[in-house]
Amino acid sequence: MPPKNTPRKVSAIAKCQICRRAVAEWTWQPFGPSDDFTCAFTALGSHYRGFPAVKTCENCRQQIKTERVIFTYRHNGYVTNPATGAIEEAPF
């Protein structure tokens, strides 16, 4: 195991699973344990086990709270709707 002060490899840094460009800072759990998907964010590694987790960056986190966002989880597409608080299957 490398010493703690050694920088991690670039490939080991988690990327946002929504925009796929930025470095992930948050874990979003859209399907539980919270009923409200807009406040289901935790720090990376601190998420609730047993529920689906999506890694997100800060920009995507803000978009999820205010806008419709399309994301995939296990090859299925979903769309968030903050107005109704629902997550629907994407039409594609």
- Decide: 77 and 90 in contact? Cβ < 8 Å: yes
pLDDT over 70 (residue 91): yes
Please give the DSSP secondary-structure letter assigned to residue 10.
Answer: G
CB atoms within 10 A of CB 74: 5
State pLDDT tens for residues 18-55: 999 999 999 999 888 777 888 889 998 888 888 889 99
* Inter-CA distances, 30 with 5, 10, 13, Å: 34, 27, 22
Quickly list DSSP for 26-89.
EEE-TTSSSS-GGG-EEETT-SPTTS--EEE-HHHHHHHHHS--EEEETTEEEEEETTTTEEEE
- Whole-structure pTM value: 0.75
pLDDT at res. 1: 56
